[in-house]
Structure 1
Amino acid sequence: MADLRPVTCCFSGYRIEKMPFRNEDCPAARELFAALDAAVAEAAADGCTRFLSGMSTGFDLWAAEAVLRARAALPVQLLCAVPFDGQADRFPLEWKRRFNRCLLAADKVYALSRSYHAGCFAARNRFMVDASSRLICYYDGRSGGTAQTVHMAEQSGLKIVNLADGQLSLL
């Protein structure tokens, strides 16, 4: 089986409630979305064709949507790494809709566990890092799952593109 890591990029970032903005129409959000589109295009130009999203609210789903936008012009695939069946059951309605749209449009879905269990998000993060050569993230130094994923990516030698670096001046 071919090693697809060189052509695979994963995403990690905060859920919507941990982002520094709540309104997706604000300048900081629009700037982040533009940076996300540019990061996907740059990764594609560097040879990445497979993009793995962890499918949580906020950055993960914005990243999945960026891949779907890019797919209109670039030969890229959206891969969804769902940590457990029913992940979106407790999402607010609009996020459930976005989750389902991305899942239905995905080129491949990895359902990593039948049910929630302690450690299922960490297992998803490890799965994505182990499958990738690049991480596009939004990480501002706070502890949590994004920090864990960034540290895994550093230890595994992934190229890391941190979109928070350019955002901090906008907040």
Structure 2
Amino acid sequence: MADLRPVTCCFSGYRIEKMPFRNEDCPAARELFAALDAAVAEAAADGCTRFLSGMSTGFDLWAAEAVLRARAALPVQLLCAVPFDGQADRFPLEWKRRFNRCLLAADKVYALSRSYHAGCFAARNRFMVDASSRLICYYDGRSGGTAQTVHMAEQSGLKIVNLADGQMSLL
């Protein structure tokens, strides 16, 4: 079986509640979306064809949507790593719709657990890092799942592209 890590990129970032903005039409959000589009295009230019999203609200779904936009012009695939069946059941309606649109458009969906359990998000993060050679993230130093994923990526030698670095001047 071929090792697909060299052509796989994963994403990690904060859920919408932890982002420094709530309105997706504000300048900081628009800047982040443009940076996501550019990071996906750059990764594709470097040979990444597979993009793996953890499918949580906020950064994960924005990243999945960026891959779907890129797919119109680039030979890229969206892969969804769903930590447990029913992940989106408690999402607000608009996020649930976005989640479902991305799942339906995905080239591959990995359902990692039949139900929620302690550690299922950490297992999803480990799965994504182990499958990838690059991480595109939004990480500003706060503890939590994104910090855990960035640390795993550092230990595993992934190339890390942190979009929060370019955002600090906008906040």
Q: What residue number does 1:37 align with?
A: 37
Provide the rounded CA distance (Å) in 1 between the counterparts of 2:50 and 2:32.
Answer: 21
Structure 1 residue 158, shift from structure 2 partner: 0.0
Q: Tell me the SS of whatever aligns to 2:65.
A: helix
TM-score (normalizing by structure 1): 1.00
Q: Deviations over 1:37-82 (max 9, x none)?
A: 0000000000000000000000000000000000000000000000
Structure 1 residue 145, shift from structure 2 partner: 0.1
Unaligned runs of 5+ in 2: none
Provide the rounded CA distance (Å) in 1 between the counterparts of 2:167 and 2:21.
Answer: 11
Q: What residue number does 2:100 align with?
A: 100
Provide the rounded CA distance (Å) in 2 between the counterparts of 1:117 and 1:168.
Answer: 35
Equivalent positions of 1:42-53 (< 5 A) are 42-53=42-53
Structure 1 residue 87, shift from structure 2 partner: 0.1
Provide the rounded CA distance (Å) in 2 between the counterparts of 1:145 and 1:51.
Answer: 19
Provide the rounded CA distance (Å) in 1 between the counterparts of 2:77 and 2:143.
Answer: 30
Structure 1 residue 111, shift from structure 2 partner: 0.1
Provide the rounded CA distance (Å) in 2 between the counterparts of 1:169 and 1:142.
Answer: 18
Q: Tell me the SS of whatever aligns to 1:48.
A: coil
Provide the rounded CA distance (Å) in 2 between the counterparts of 1:137 and 1:44.
Answer: 16
Q: What residue number does 2:121 align with?
A: 121
> Does residue 1:83 correspond to 2:91, yes or no?
no
Aligned residues: 171
Provide the rounded CA distance (Å) in 2 between the counterparts of 1:64 and 1:146.
Answer: 16
Provide the rounded CA distance (Å) in 2 between the counterparts of 1:67 and 1:155.
Answer: 26
Structure 1 residue 140, shift from structure 2 partner: 0.0
Provide the rounded CA distance (Å) in 2 between the counterparts of 1:169 and 1:147.
Answer: 21
Structure 1 residue 35, shift from structure 2 partner: 0.1
Structure 1 residue 132, shift from structure 2 partner: 0.1
Structure 1 residue 149, shift from structure 2 partner: 0.0
Q: Tell me the SS of whatever aligns to 2:147.
A: helix
Q: Percent identity?
A: 99
Q: Tell me the SS of whatever aligns to 1:20.
A: coil
Unaligned runs of 5+ in 1: none
Runs of 4+ in 1 over 4 A off after TM superposition: none
Provide the rounded CA distance (Å) in 1 between the counterparts of 2:168 and 2:83.
Answer: 30
Provide the rounded CA distance (Å) in 2 between the counterparts of 1:103 and 1:137.
Answer: 20
